[in-house]
Structure 1
Amino acid sequence: MTDEQRALYEYYTTGPRVAPESPFSLVGPDGRLQGPPAVWILSPGFGHALQQIGSAVRFGSRLPARACEIAILLVGHHHRSAFELYAHTRAGKAAGLSDADLAALADNREPADMSDVEGCVFRTTRAVLDRGTLDDDEFRDAAGLLGEPGLLELVTIVGYYNMVAWQLAVFDVQPAAS
């Protein structure tokens, strides 16, 4: 590895992402990177920038963790992204999604007993994935419930995980065999 690659590798092999309570690991038992970092290490300049965005998206949103995982899982199912689904099924369970919730999301159905925010996140994410935008009423409803900053964060989460799904597909990144 180059020095830049080593620095990126060390970012993923130390700190909170490898803590025992983390719902999934981006480092395999053999020490190899898994998931998006396995590709990002190819171009450390991009890799560092992408991990900064990823960190903000994953750990810095004002939206509840459960709502974020609903959006991420919808993107994962939309793209049939094996690694996203592997990782975020675990993260979704850690955030409080039940097996029934996960099954509903896999079937593109709104899970029962969601909060108003979670329902809004589900409907808004579906609209963005289906049409690439929101109509005026959908925008007003989402901005009214999530606030415009929350809506920006949701759209960014959806866009970021779309990009990740494409990268994983192009480079055929799969979860490690369990």
Structure 2
Amino acid sequence: MSIESRLSPLNEAHMAPEQRRVLDTILSGPRGNLDGPFLAWIHSPELADHAQRLGAFCRYGTRLELRLTELAILFTAAWWQSQAEWQIHEPIAREAGVAEAVIEALREGREPTFERDDEALVVRLGESLYTSRRVDEALYAEAVAVFGEPAMVELVGVFGYYALVAMTLNVFEVRRGDGPLPFAEPPGS
């Protein structure tokens, strides 16, 4: 699927050695492509190098089930109305077991009805973190009891990393394919 952005096109013949090294690392890793924010970050190979390692951990290495990680990513994509982030992760979330009704509610900005308590907890944490920039004691204690302290730390990392991804994709207008966008574009963009 094609990726477009407002960035100057990447010309492999004119890449700096550091860009080439980071590109090779990304392409040989678990992602295998320059999808999403990497199209932007490769313009700053130092950022790309650090971010791709953090992203690989957040996506593939946490203690959380993939279903919960992908739910946190979709919640973040919907919060930031990040077109490409949603386009990339929506099918992954579905395949990981996130219910269609939850996916659609998030995309439409509605409160989902959850069949699984751990999913409701992930969304409550995301809502608290993004709206108040804090998590109160009761919610924190519940999350630690359900996920454990190390996984709670990792979940906060997932929310933070994918907020960075969403901002990158939004600023540089990264789009995947030519199909309909999941979110209406704000006026003037």
For normalisation by structure 2, the TM-score amounts to 0.81
The aligned runs of 1:50-129 (5 Å cut-off) are: 50-106=51-107, 107-114=109-116, 116-129=117-130
Match of 2:143 in 1: 142
Instruction: Please state how far the C-alpha of 1:142 moved relative to its aligned partner.
Output: 1.1
For these two proteins, the number of residue pairs brought into alignment is 164
Matches of 1:158 and 1:16 in 2, distance apart? 20
Alpha-carbon RMSD across the aligned residues, in angstroms, is 1.5
Match of 1:43 in 2: 44
Matches of 2:120 and 2:63 in 1, distance apart? 16
In structure 2, runs of 5+ residues without a counterpart are 1-14, 180-189
Q: Percent identity?
A: 33
Tell me the amino acid that sits aligned with residue 8 of structure 1: V
Matches of 2:27 and 2:149 in 1, distance apart? 35
Instruction: Please state how far the C-alpha of 1:15 moved relative to its aligned partner.
Output: 4.4
Could you tell which deviates more after superposition, 40-49 or 9-18? 9-18
In structure 1, runs of 5+ residues without a counterpart are 19-25, 27-32
Contact kept, 8 Å, 2:58 with 2:158, in 1: the verdict is: yes
Tell me the amino acid that sits aligned with residue 146 of structure 1: F
Bigger RCO (CA 8 Å, 6+ sep): 2
**Partner-residue secondary structure (3-state), 2:177:** coil
Structure 1 runs of 4+ aligned residues shifted over 6 Å read none
For normalisation by structure 1, the TM-score amounts to 0.85
